Amino acid sequence: MKIRVGFIFCLLVLTVVMGRAQTSVALSTYEAELGGVYAGQDMVPYYMVSNRHGVLPPEGGAAYIRGMVDFQFASHSFSFKTGLDIVGFSSSSQDYYKHYGYLQQLYAEVAWKKWYLLVGAREDKPFLVNDKLSSGNMMWSGNARPVPQIRIGTADFVSVPGTKGWVNLYLDLAYGRLSDGDYNRNFCSLMDVEKEKRTFHIVNDTWMHRKNLFVRTKKEAPVVFTAGLEHIAQFGGTVDGKKCDVSAKDCLKVLLGKRNNGRYEYSHLASMDFRADINCRIGTLSAYTQLFMDEVSQFGSFRQNGTDGLWGVEWIGRERSLLNGVVLEYLKTTSQGGPVYANEKSKYNGKEYHYYACTYYNDQHYGAWSHYGMACGTPLLKSPIYNKDHFPGFTATLVKAVHLGLKGEICDGMVGYRMLVSYRKSWGEPLYLLPRSVENVSALLECQYRIKKGWTFVGTAALDSGSLYGENRGVSLAVRKCGLLFKKK
């Protein structure tokens, strides 16, 4: 999806005009990072690449440089923001990673009071879960690269009139287009098609619809409850060379959760989210769950499969201390059994049944719910980029996993650390069960040293052990500098 220069120019003109009429603030910030990753084996350990917005590939070591700059303008109820983020790196992995550079973020956002409109690709934090300590949101975790999109919604929770702040709503919806067509073609070109027994599709330029609706009680209350729904759909694009045109009617149907428009299929994912926060003087204790829902018919109806989903507890302290953040999570996806239809007439009653096989993150028509090979949802379901046979789908979605995240600070915040550990067991796919279960333990220890004038030095060590990812060891070093380019009132 291209960002039109004229659109951005009009927003800038509007900003200037409004800035003359009332008090305004304009500022620009920057961030630069230089780093390197060394892996003793073919694969970089799981936690060194997961939930990092797909910045680095999981194969081989890499050296990278990253530069980000943004501009912000605020004037009473109106604000405007735009940002640019470029990543360049050299990797020892597959040919399509060597000497590679790309545009990670490019966006423009305009806001009026509580509402905003975003155009472009921007890294967004996941809902419900802690973006630094959690294993990841099941719908959108920040594990994959951003998707170019147009998005509209509330910038924060908005109080419902007449409720005195006790009922607050958050909502947004977006339409975007996945930009990983070249990657998909290159990845599948290395697959031995004659030996591949599973059905697969080469998908390019898929359209995406995403929306979120959350209700929250008063944030300042001792106990805060949040409940919501997350929904994602794929439609349009090109599947195995066949182009699926997109119309306004298609956009409306996926918004309403419809599955089939008579010409081709839509693919849907959804989850119900619940969270409770207990606020006290020394911190916040939270419990949450994200229940993954399955499609059960070609008309877009959903069901929740038993206890399948993400279950977690979180503690975040208010003061700097050796331990001021803890997250413990349990993930279960073993009750899945997506819709199954087949083109054959029943001998019993003469009716025609259509067998259509979908599992979590795998769709019969659109393949994997991934972007540049990385899972868009939780990375605890092994991303397609890890498939050594270059099969473009998820092969290990029957999973039970436990995840622990810790963080803390010492030396008046100058030194901080983050530790992540997970154990998972997988039985493969519902339609392609493994001969025996596979297990994996992954761990990461990250230390940050912050000094004055915006300098931060980050050192990371990580490992994998088990048959799911193999025996991997790795270290990384990075230096980061951020600061203010200018500020004008």
What sign for the dihedral angle of Cα 120, 37, 418, 49? positive
Q: Is the pLDDT of residue 383 over 60?
A: yes
For strands 158-159 and 100-112, give the pairing: unpaired
How far is CA 42 from each of CA 2, 92, 396, 443, 446, rounded to the nearest angstrom? Answer: 36, 9, 20, 17, 21
Which top CATH class is 116-475? mainly beta
Looking at the whole model, is its pTM more than 0.85?
yes
Confidence category of residue 486, pLDDT binned at 50, 70, 90: confident
| Per-residue pLDDT, 250 | 87
For residues 353, 358, 359, 364, the Cα torsion angle rounded to the nearest 10 degrees is: 150
Average pLDDT on 12-34 reads 70
| Per-residue pLDDT, 99 | 58
Rounded CA separation 170/155 (Å):
8
Q: Is the pLDDT of residue 352 over 50?
A: no
Six-digit token string for 211: 């929306």
| Per-residue pLDDT, 258 | 78
The predicted-structure confidence for 269-314, as pLDDT tens digits, reads as follows 889 999 999 999 899 999 999 998 876 444 455 667 778 999 999 9
What 3-state class would DSSP assign to 16? helix
Name the burial class of residue 151, with classes exposed (0-12), middle (13-18) and buried (19+) by CB atoms within 10 angstroms of its CB: buried
Rounded CA separation 391/190 (Å):
9
The predicted-structure confidence for 145-158, as pLDDT tens digits, reads as follows 999 999 999 989 99
Side-chain-side CA neighbours of residue 359 (13 Å): 19
Six-digit token string for 269: 């994912």
Q: Over the chain, what is the mean pLDDT?
A: 85
Count each helix (H run) and each strand (E run) in the chain, helices first.
Answer: 4, 28
